[in-house]
C-alpha cells in the first residue's frame, strides 16, 4: 500500500518517520479545540498522507469518486488530481486510501449547515464574477477584491465545488 523509499545504489530501505503515538495523542488533544475544517484537513493529512494543498483543496467531485477497496469493508480508494480539481504536486494523479469513518465524516460535513452557508457566499462571489465578465468589466480584479491567486481558486471552484470554504466564501488555501 505504501511505497517505501529505497536508496538507488544500495537498495537499502529508508525508514518512513510518521508521527509517534505521543505526537498523535497531542495532535488529537489540540484538534478538539479547532474548527471542523481544520480538524478534517489534519485528519486527511495524518490518516491518508495528503499534502496540505491536497487536503485543503479536496473537492466534492473527488469525494464522490471514492470506491470501496477490493477485499476491504472499511477502506476506500480515492483518486485525486487535475481530473477532479484537487491540486497535487506536479499535477499528477494520486490514489490514496481513506477509512470509512473519515469518508462518512467528510460526507456529513459536505451537507452541513455550516458548509452550506459558506457555499452560498461562494456562489454569490461566483455570480458577481460572472456578471463582471458579462459586462466586460476591466476592473473585475479590484471590484471583487481578488488577487490573481484568489481568482484562480474562484474559477476552479466554478468547475469543481470545493469541500472546504472560508467564512468569507473563498475556497480554502493553505497560505
Q: What is the pLDDT of residues 103-112, one digit of tens each?
A: 999 999 999 9
162: Cβ contacts below 8 Å, ≥ 6 apart: 57, 58, 59, 60, 85, 122, 153, 156, 171, 172
Q: What is the pLDDT of residues 14-38, one digit of tens each?
A: 555 677 888 888 988 999 999 999 9
How far is it, in rounded angstroms, from Cα 170 to Cα 159? 14
Q: What is the pLDDT of residues 83-92, one digit of tens each?
A: 999 999 999 9
pTM of the predicted structure, to 2 decimals: 0.83
CA 129 to chain centre: 23
**Which residue carries 499535477 as its cell?**
91
Q: For position 95, what pLDDT does the model report?
A: 94
- Cβ–Cβ under 8 Å, residues 165 and 113: no
Q: Tell whether the model's pLDDT for residue 50 goes beyond 90.
A: yes
Amino acid at each position: 500500500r505504501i511505497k517505501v523509499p529505497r536508496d538507488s545504489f544500495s537498495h537499502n530501505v529508508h525508514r518512513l518517520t510518521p508521527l509517534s503515538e505521543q505526537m498523535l495523542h497531542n495532535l488529537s488533544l489540540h484538534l478538539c479545540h479547532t474548527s471542523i475544517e481544520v480538524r478534517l484537513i489534519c485528519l486527511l493529512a495524518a490518516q491518508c498522507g495528503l499534502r496540505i494543498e491536497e487536503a485543503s483543496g479536496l473537492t466534492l467531485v473527488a469525494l464522490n469518486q471514492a470506491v470501496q477497496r477490493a477485499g476491504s469493508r472499511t477502506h476506500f480508494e480515492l483518486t485525486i488530481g487535475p481530473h477532479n480539481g484537487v491540486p497535487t504536486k506536479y499535477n499528477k494523479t494520486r490514489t490514496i486510501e481513506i477509512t470509512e469513518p473519515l469518508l462518512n465524516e467528510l460526507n456529513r460535513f459536505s451537507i452541513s449547515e455550516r458548509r452550506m452557508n459558506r457555499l452560498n457566499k461562494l456562489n454569490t462571489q461566483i455570480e458577481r464574477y460572472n456578471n463582471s465578465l458579462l459586462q466586460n468589466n476591466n476592473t473585475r480584479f479590484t471590484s471583487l477584491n481578488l488577487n490573481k491567486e484568489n481568482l484562480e481558486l474562484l474559477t476552479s471552484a466554478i468547475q469543481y465545488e470545493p469541500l472546504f470554504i472560508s467564512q468569507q466564501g473563498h475556497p480554502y488555501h493553505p497560505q
